[in-house]
Amino acid sequence: MINVLVVDDDFMVARLHSKLVERVPGFTVVGEARTGAEALALVAALRPDLVLLDIYLPDMSGLEVLRELRADEDSDVDVLVITAAREAETVRGALRGGAVHYIIKPFDPPVLAERLRDYARRAQELAAIAVPGQDDVDRVFGAGASRTPPRLPKGLSEQTAQLIRDTLAALDPAQDLSAAECAVRSGLSRVSARRYLEYFVSTRQVGVRLRYGATGRPERRYHWSAPSA
């Protein structure tokens, strides 16, 4: 579970962001802060994994909060900026401060959900890598995303692969499908659909979420995660 601290001076906005976070599997909100000083105090007390940080705070800039967090050797918290600030210098400041992403208000709820899923995916990838190679580092940092996709393995056709791509890409960002559901939508057998889905998972074009039931193995749910062309 990824623990999140929400920082925004507007009570209603903070509560809305908290609700959006709680809807994303694997994330929970451990606190809310209205000021920069309160944010720093709660980071020290609660030790969240991620802070959703506004720039416009009543006592200090969110960039100041970010700098203080980075200056604290005991703090390893990540920061995702959510703000109405559109100045290029503010964006550069967030980037220099190590923010994992920058979302401009107002935004559609699926945008935040997708950024959180990206954050969780990167965290999982880093945790699974003992000694990263260059390809591992490029994948985590998002480099090389525009490279030509790898050639399909023997036995897989480009036409069917495109059918699976289109089926998943047509979903809303928060939606996913099981192999059986994907098979029904694409007109394939469940075995064929699963084979293509697992291939796309291996090439990082498709992400997997696990849905746990009362008994048995968790169901694998697939969603398109490759960047749009």
**What does the DSSP assignment read for 3-24?**
EEEEE-SSHHHHHHHHHHHHTS
Q: What is the mean pLDDT of residues 134-146?
A: 59
Residue 148 one-letter amino acid: T
Q: Judge contact between 122 and 140, C-beta under 8 A.
A: yes
pLDDT, residue 158, reads: 87
**What pLDDT score was predicted for residue 150?**
59
**48-80 per-residue burial string, b: 16 or more CB within 10 A, e: under 16:** bbbbbbbbebeeebbbbbbbbbeeeeeeebbbb
Rounded Cα distance between 139 and 128, Å, is 13
pLDDT tens-digit map of 165-213: 889 888 887 889 999 999 999 999 999 999 999 998 888 888 888 888 7
pLDDT given for residue 136 in this prediction: 64
66-105 pLDDT tens trace? 999 999 888 889 999 999 998 999 999 999 999 999 999 9
pLDDT class of 65 with cuts at 50, 70, 90: very high
Q: What is the structure's pLDDT at 43?
A: 96
Does residue 227 have a pLDDT over 60?
no
Q: How far is CA 21 from CA 18, 154, 222, 223, in A?
A: 5, 41, 20, 18
